[in-house]
C-alpha cells in the first residue's frame, strides 16, 4: 500500500487504525479525516477537517486524498449507537422518527455518500479496498434478541449499500474489494454503557480489534467483495 484514507480518524477505532498503520507502514501516505483538524506529529499522516453533513466537503476530501495517486485502502470508521439523548430502543414504544433519522444519517447515509465519492478513487491497477465499520447486529438472520431497532436497521441498510456498491464497482474495477467489518465489542464511548454485559475475553481494546481487522483485510480477494466480515475473519450472514 502507498496511499490510504481513514474517515472518522478521531474516534477510538479510527485513531487506532491511523496509529497502527502509521507505525507499521512508515512510507505510507495516510490521509486522516475527522470533524476537526489536528496534528499527530507523524510525518506520514496528513489531517483534514471534513463536514459530514456537506456532500461537497466529502467530494473535496476524496479528491484531496487521491490527488497525487489512487487510493489503495479507504477505511470508514464513523458510526453511532447512542449519545446524550439517544439510547438503543428496547421496544417499539421507544421508537421516534427523529431518532431513526439521526441514526440512519450517521450509520447509513454518510457511509453511502463516502462510498459514492471514495470508491471511484480506488486503485485500478492492483487490489484496493473500501471497508466500512458495520456490526453483527445488522445481520437479519442472526437477530435472536430483538431490540436496538434503529441501530440494527441502519447497519442492515449499510450492509446492503456495501453489497450493491460492490456489484457496481466490479464493473469498472475488477480488483476492488468493498466490504463491511465487524470490530467486536471494543472499549470505547460507543460501547461503554453496555460493557458490563460482555465477557472479559470478548471486550477488546481498539488496538487489538484494529490489528485483527487489518489481518482480515490483508487476506481478502475481489470475489469476497460485497460481504461483511467479523474481526476473526468469519463471514457474517445477511
Q: Residue 226: its pLDDT value, please?
A: 98
- Counted domains in the chain: 1
Task: For 222-231, write each residue's pLDDT tens digit.
Answer: 999 999 999 9
Distance CA 211, CA 216 (A): 9
Which residue, chain included where needed, has cell 477537517? Answer: 49
Domain of residue 111 covers 3-236
Looking at the DSSP bridge assignments, the partners of residue 236 are 228
Q: State which residues of the chain have pLDDT below 50.
A: none
Q: Residue 214: its pLDDT value, please?
A: 98
Residue 167 corresponds to which cell in the numbers above? 456489484
Q: Residue 195: its pLDDT value, please?
A: 65
Distance CA 140, CA 230 (A): 15
With beta carbons less than 8 A apart as the criterion, state whether 77 and 134 touch.
Answer: no
Q: Tell me, what CATH number does 158's domain have?
A: 3.40.50.720
Task: For 69-115, write each residue's pLDDT tens digit.
Answer: 999 999 999 999 999 889 999 999 999 999 999 999 999 999 999 99
Distance CA 178, CA 123 (A): 13
Residue 152 corresponds to which cell in the numbers above? 440494527
Q: Residue 89: its pLDDT value, please?
A: 96
Task: For 129-142, write each residue's pLDDT tens digit.
Answer: 999 999 999 999 99
Amino acid at each position: 500500500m502507498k496511499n490510504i484514507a481513514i474517515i472518522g480518524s478521531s474516534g477510538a477505532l479510527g485513531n487506532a487504525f491511523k496509529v497502527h498503520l502509521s507505525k507499521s507502514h512508515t512510507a505510507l501516505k495516510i490521509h486522516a479525516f475527522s470533524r476537526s483538524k489536528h496534528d499527530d506529529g507523524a510525518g506520514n499522516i496528513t489531517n483534514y477537517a471534513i463536514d459530514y453533513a456537506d456532500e461537497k466537503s466529502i467530494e473535496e476530501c476524496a479528491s484531496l486524498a487521491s490527488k497525487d495517486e489512487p487510493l489503495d485502502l479507504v477505511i470508514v470508521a464513523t458510526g453511532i449507537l447512542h449519545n446524550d439523548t439517544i439510547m438503543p430502543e428496547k421496544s417499539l414504544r421507544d421508537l421516534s422518527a427523529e431518532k431513526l433519522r439521526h441514526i440512519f444519517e450517521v450509520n447509513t447515509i454518510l457511509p453511502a455518500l463516502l462510498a459514492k465519492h471514495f470508491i471511484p478513487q480506488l486503485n485500478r491497477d492492483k487490489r484496493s479496498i473500501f471497508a466500512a465499520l458495520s456490526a453483527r447486529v445488522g445481520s437479519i438472520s442472526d437477530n435472536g434478541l430483538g431490540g436496538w431497532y434503529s441501530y440494527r436497521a441502519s447497519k442492515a441498510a449499510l450492509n446492503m449499500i456495501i453489497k450493491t456498491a460492490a456489484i457496481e464497482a466490479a464493473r469498472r474495477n475488477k480488483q476492488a474489494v468493498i466490504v463491511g467489518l465487524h470490530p467486536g465489542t471494543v472499549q470505547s464511548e460507543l460501547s461503554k454503557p453496555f460493557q458490563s454485559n460482555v465477557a472479559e475475553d470478548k471486550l477488546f481494546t481498539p488496538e487489538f480489534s484494529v490489528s485483527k481487522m487489518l489481518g482480515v483485510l490483508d487476506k481478502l480477494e475481489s470475489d469476497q467483495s460485497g460481504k461483511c466480515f467479523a474481526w476473526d475473519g468469519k463471514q457474517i450472514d445477511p
